[in-house]
Structure 1
């Protein structure tokens, strides 16, 4: 399939690479041209100097950009140059409202739009083992699924337009609470005079076990936060969550509090630290 990939950040760069490895004809665009050229040097694909050039005649264009305004600015520019009946698969984490608007615009142009936010982080993108939560038309999903499978291990259609973004919001709510719990648990461990490694070995085999515990407890114990999903990004996502909760009436007391604590981490200079840096509110990095 002729595919365009727009947005070569820590997620998009390896995701586009998996598409090329799967045999698709891939053209890429990134706001930093050097990154697009570097991608083309490493993979069988073409770096383009504009989103329109990348998307010209494409059967599917994947977006992995920053936020709602980026997607809203791109989609109207892409629709006129895509192949008839083409798919836009948006991996950006955005509002559900934006996803519904973009789906309507695409349909009016004879194309399809899937909101398809991802979970799994940079490591999941590099390993091709992301989880993708989709919203949109079932027929469009059926056409996109084999392509998305190049970089995902779990792909699920959650409902109509916007349903993928709403599911990603659920994901972020759950992560926020778990990471705060881990920060307090590790802080308590040290105050109690226990060995963090021994505590992890004991409790990670029981009901407290989670992906966050397995992957973030050791780095939190070492005071390492210069990697992973940035606090700035998490606050963007939690902002979307809280806006949606204001519309649907959900009561998110813990999520609202954790968002405020992430604001404290930003004030400490940790905007680009991993989300596990909630621990720095309780004890300074080592």
Structure 2
């Protein structure tokens, strides 16, 4: 059903003028001039085709037509206020929905969310596996973590400095160059290429002694530190990195800002 176009600003001015029975006091409440109030009332009367106020020696009076609609109008404004409060409540809630690649979630994100939640037990997280970008509106996301060259058309910040590191088993080099995603470096290697779905699986294959791989330093740091794999030289800058991204409305939420601050404190 097509809705009637409502002159909401003029109706708000009418409500204030009706409560005060004074254009001057209504103007003070709305932070406008009395002339602006009078202009809005006249415009509303033209739209409705009725007179709303009558001037008498004692001051302004509401007409019968104005009184007939005033109660429902005020009830409607109350419902508007309740609706706005309900929508704002989501911003102040302790629940966040986050989309991230599976390997990043398992190896980096989940442990850090556990630490964040330990500091605030009221926090609740919903994690969605997303190896490719999801539509924020359809998935009802607060935040997403992506392996990309930048935030594209969203707002975003990188997690640490994007870098790759070559890793190998603790002993020996294995048989394969283990490639993942768009990694084609192994095609130049003398050893055959073993392809896996993501960097997490590449790290697991290296740990099993299958070969070496070029993976994000962020995902391999703990295995390197624990001696489960060894680094073949220093990490090197890369055009891709992990980015926390969200549309502008989500980015303005305090709960999103707090989580981003916690996750980017490298």
Same fold (TM over 0.5): no
Q: Which has the higher contact order (CA 8 A, sep 6+)?
A: 2
TM bin (shorter chain): under 0.3
* TM-score normalised to structure 2 length: 0.25
TM-score of the aligned structures, taking structure 1 as reference length: 0.24
Structure number with greater Rg is 2
* Larger relative strand fraction: 2
